Amino acid sequence: MPALIDPLIRIRQTPSRTAQQIRGKERLYRSAFRPRCEMFQGVANLWCSTFFAPDAQAVSPEEYQQALDALSRNAHFRRLRSEQWFTMADQRVQDRRVRAFHWELEFPEVFFDVSRQEADGSFHRGFDAIIGNPPYDVLAERELTRELPADRAVDVCRFLESFKRLIDTEPIYRPSKRGKNNLYKLFICRALDLLAEGGRFGFIVPMALLGDDQAADVRRAMLDSGALTSVDAFPQKDDPSRRVFPEAKQSTSAFTMMRTTDDAARMTPFVSRQHPANRIEETSPSLTLQTDHIPLYDPSNRNIVSCSQADWDLAVKIMRSGRLVRMKNYAESFQGEVNEANERPKGTISYDQADGDEVIRGAHICLYTTRSASQGTPVFIRRAEFLSGKREGVKAFDHRFPRVGFQRKSPQNNFRRLIACPIARDTFLLESVSYVPAVKCRLPLEIVLAVLNSRLADWYFRLGSTNAMVSEYQFNNLPCPAFAQRRSDTDDALHKTRTAALDAGRFDEAFRLLQPELDKPPFPLIVQDVLVQLVRRIIVIEEARGDIARTERSRLADTAQPLQDLIDRLLYAMAGLSEREAAGLEERLSRML
């Protein structure tokens, strides 16, 4: 590269004030740069041609070495280039279906800084701007070969293996490897590597980039490399006429950012907007935030939220106050122990009810109770076969414990995103249900139910959700009250008066009696007791309703709703929200549906 960089440095250092100077720079470019660049391009074409030639006609290692040796002798290289083997190789990559493009040779001033040389002798500059719409393909055999004939599937698998080896050996792609890899993540990693200090970068990618756990390391790489300057989210994916790509059922987002080490840039506000359809609308809900504030919503996952300013300010206020902690401090959640795709070939599950008990699926999960599945095919467990060969302590034996289960798949337009209920002992769960076992929870399971089924948690979850999944990392991030470790001397007396108010249905009075206990965390155990009692009463009411119409499942019974309202009021108060703030939250939550 120095042979190419030197004339470019001389061109840049020559002024452009007169026509004579400009003509001199042009001659230098044509005489010193282009001929040498074309020689390098010829050698690069030879290298690329080996991928497009039959083995018998491929350039041999000896021929390739001849071309390398001739680079220092212009006349000898021109003679070599006229030989048939060289000409045929060159033609293969000049074909319009190939058109080999050598980035470092076409843009040497981008890949190698022509304005200065580093102390170690290297040059590097980068692009001033990178924009694109990268492909959204999962790098897995199952996804890439699903619709291919057998011979093409073999070729794709071979390519995939070599491609994975490349990714494993290149440190710049390390952030892409979390979860399933996807081409768009690789393109982001490469773009960050090629971007100049102060350069601008913008892509349109799946909306998953903004919040999914599998993109968390890519988000971290972006946020560590610079500052976001805009985010536009397009969650609509069900209506082909209103989604960004009519032919692809995909929620998308467009972002721009600047590569910089300047702390001031990270504190510069930018706007994040969420649009109802496929156009950028000035009236869409928008949020002004700073790059360095992004971890406040989720410090480990670094979700880039798209919500209203009022919602963001309220979420920041809640978590900055220290009144609530994260759910991960108290409980651990797991995916259901029965994976239908894995267990079917083993014969451990059946679709005949004579073979065993029915496995609870997401469609069974309702608010505070399970009901007959509203959709899907029933699955039955062959208990002995399923447990055979499994050691004690693995999650296959979690059916022995009381659990809280919640829907793992919840569409973004659902009436609720978080729907939870108690799971009885000796019940098995399909992978479409997540659960918290009593042995992995340091709170009464009723408190987990109260939080998951609260409007506060549903609102907070929606702020950072980018797909239909309810994953472990999202559960971990939910706000949860912190309770005292010991009871006070007055707890028994207080408990009686509050229980009497609940028994009489005087819920406003019960709230007023508890209000002095909600001033600061950790909250007294009497508050925990009341929440547990409220949840147990709702469970009794909802179980008594039995099977109900699917349209009725979006609401609690008339006698249970006041109990839920009190749970919500208590949680709002523990979060430090005024009645006005809580009412505003609920009004905005209703518009999210």
Express each pLDDT in 182-196 by its tens digit.
999 999 999 999 999
Residue 148: inside a domain: yes
322 domain residue, yes or no: no
pLDDT value of residue 454: 98
Any domain includes 570: yes
- What mean pLDDT comes out for the span 442-466? 95
Domain boundary among 111, 142, 166: 111
Q: Is residue 116 in some structural domain?
A: no
pLDDT in tens, 141-181: 777 777 778 878 887 788 888 888 888 889 999 999 998 88
Whether the predicted pLDDT of 116 surpasses 60: no
**pLDDT above 60 for 38:** yes
- With tokens 């080996």, the residue in question is 50
Q: Say if residue 58 is in the same domain as residue 152.
A: no
**Cβ contact 209:464 at 8 Å:** no
What residue type is assigned to position 152 of the chain?
R
Tally the C-alpha atoms within 13 A of residue 238's C-alpha that lie toward its C-beta: 7
Q: Please tell me whether residues 182 and 64 are part of one structural domain.
A: no
Pair (397, 523) in one structural domain: yes
- Residue 220 CA to residue 213 CA, distance in Å, equals 11
Give the number of domains in the chain: 3
Helix (H) or strand (E) holding 200, with range, is strand 195-206
Domain extent at residue 65: 2-111
The reply to whether 107 and 138 lie within a common domain is no
The pLDDT of residue 191: 96
Query: What are the start-end ranges of the E strands in 276-432?
Result: 286-289, 324-326, 334-335, 349-350, 365-366, 369-370, 380-381, 403-407, 420-423
pLDDT for the residue 435: 98
* pLDDT band at residue 123 using 50, 70 and 90 as cut-offs: very low
Tokens of 591: 């518009």
Task: State how far the alpha carbon of 285 is from the alpha carbons of 2, 175, 243, 281, 282, in Å.
Answer: 52, 31, 17, 9, 8
Which DSSP letter does residue 218 get?
A: H
> Is residue 265, in this structure, part of any structural domain at all?
yes
Asked whether residue 460 carries a pLDDT value surpassing 60, the answer given is yes
% of the chain with per-residue pLDDT over 90 = 68
* DSSP string covering 253-305: EEEEEEE---HHHHTS-EEEEE-SSSS--TTS-EEEE-GGGGGGT-TTT----
**Which residue type sits at 357?**
D
Task: Based on the fold, state whether residues 482 and 585 are members of the same structural domain.
Answer: yes
My answer on whether 235 and 361 are in the same domain is: no
For residues 336 and 403, what is the distance between their CA atoms, to the nearest angstrom?
11
Check whether 119 has a pLDDT greater than 50: no
Q: According to the model, what pLDDT value does residue 139 have?
A: 83
CA distance 365 to 549: 14
Does one domain contain both 100 and 132? no
Separation CA 481–CA 52 (nearest Å): 63
User: Which one of 80, 111, 142 terminates a domain?
Assistant: 111
Q: Rg for the chain (alpha carbons), in Å?
A: 31
**How close are the terminal C-alpha atoms of the chain, in Å?**
58
Q: Say whether both 141 and 104 belong to one domain.
A: no
Q: What whole-number distance in Å separates Cα of residue 143 and Cα of residue 323?
A: 45
Beta carbons of 59 and 23 less than 8 angstroms apart = no
Structural domain ending residue among the three candidates 111, 141, 156: 111
Q: Is residue 323 part of a domain?
A: no
Q: Are 384 and 355 in contact (CB under 8 A)?
A: no
Q: Are residues 154 and 66 in the same domain?
A: no
| pLDDT at position 417 | 93
Statement to judge: residues 103 and 192 lie in one domain: no
Question: What would the pLDDT profile of 529-553 be if each residue is shown by its tens digit?
Answer: 999 999 999 999 999 999 898 888 8
- pLDDT tier, 318 (very low <50, low <70, confident <90, very high otherwise): very high
Total-model pTM: 0.77
Is residue 56 located within the same domain as residue 147? Answer: no
Q: What is the dihedral of CA 405, 411, 417, 422, to 10 degrees?
A: -20
- Taking a C-beta distance cutoff of 8 angstroms, is the pair 545, 372 a contact? no
Residue 314 within any structural domain of the chain? no
Looking at the structure, do residues 199 and 230 belong to the same domain, yes or no? Answer: yes
Residue 256 confidence class, pLDDT cut points 50, 70, 90: very high
Give residue 110's pLDDT band: very low, low, confident or very high (50, 70, 90): confident
Question: At 158, which CATH number?
Answer: 3.40.50.150
Tokens representing 108 are 């040497």
DSSP state of 60: P
Nearest to residue 245, comparing CAs of 258, 234, 230, 256? 234
6 has a pLDDT exceeding 90: no
Distance CA 178, CA 463 (A): 23
